[in-house]
């Protein structure tokens, strides 16, 4: 709860609800998909705040998870959020092909081609001057 319910605009969930409404997707499904996306986002924030990454001590005006509960707990919290995000999508009351597509999309978003790759690039560029075209490429 500490990592997910304090602050934040829930922009990703709102975008999910808006896009789903345009496609006439049932609201109860959109709620679960939006929640899964927010859980995954919270996972990335918890891991990003760790000393081995950005070493942030505050998130949304509160102590980061690793500061409040310790690094080991923060790693487990992030891992649990990630697992629960995938479990939420895999458990949707939707046709199997739809569930698989949602799980695949979320996995791709956090893979080496997505958030994990972006985090790796971020870490590799610490202390270096980088031109915008290098980042965008």
Condensed to tens digits (0 to 9), the pLDDT of residues 69-79 reads 999 999 999 99
β-strand partners of 89: none
**23-46 confidence digits (pLDDT tens):** 888 888 889 999 999 999 999 999
Question: In the prediction, which pLDDT does 55 show?
Answer: 93
Kindly state the tokens that stand for 49: 């705040």
How much is the mean pLDDT over the chain? Answer: 90
Question: In the prediction, which pLDDT does 7 show?
Answer: 65
**In Å, what is the CA distance from 16 to each residue of 27, 34, 105, 127, 131?**
10, 6, 13, 36, 33
| Continuous H helices in 49-136 | 65-69, 71-90, 96-110, 115-124, 132-136
Kindly state the tokens that stand for 120: 């790796």
Question: In the prediction, which pLDDT does 6 show?
Answer: 67
Boundaries of every domain in the chain: 11-136
**79-94 confidence digits (pLDDT tens):** 999 999 999 999 999 9
Question: In the prediction, which pLDDT does 8 show?
Answer: 67
Question: In the prediction, which pLDDT does 134 show?
Answer: 72
d(CA 54, CA 62): 16
Question: In the prediction, which pLDDT does 113 show?
Answer: 95
d(CA 102, CA 93): 12
Does residue 103 carry a pLDDT above 70?
A: yes
**Nearest Cα residue to 2 out of 80, 88, 87, 63:** 63
Does residue 2 carry a pLDDT above 80?
A: no
**Which residue's structure tokens are 């690094």?**
71
Does residue 115 carry a pLDDT above 80?
A: yes
| Domain 11-136: top CATH class | mainly alpha
Question: In the prediction, which pLDDT does 76 show?
Answer: 97
């Amino acid at each position: 709860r500490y990592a997910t319910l304090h602050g934040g605009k829930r922009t990703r969930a709102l975008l999910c609800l808006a896009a789903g409404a345009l496609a006439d997707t049932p609201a109860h499904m959109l709620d679960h998909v939006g929640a899964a996306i927010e859980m995954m986002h919270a996972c990335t924030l918890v891991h990003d705040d760790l000393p081995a990454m950005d070493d942030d001590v505050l998130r949304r005006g509160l102590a980061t998870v690793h500061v409040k509960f310790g690094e080991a707990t923060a790693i487990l919290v992030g891992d649990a959020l990630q697992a629960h995000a995938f479990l939420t999508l895999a458990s949707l009351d939707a046709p199997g092909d739809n569930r698989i597509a949602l799980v695949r999309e979320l996995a791709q978003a956090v893979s080496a081609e997505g958030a994990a790759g972006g985090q790796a690039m971020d870490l590799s560029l610490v202390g270096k001057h980088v031109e915008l075209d290098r980042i965008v490429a």
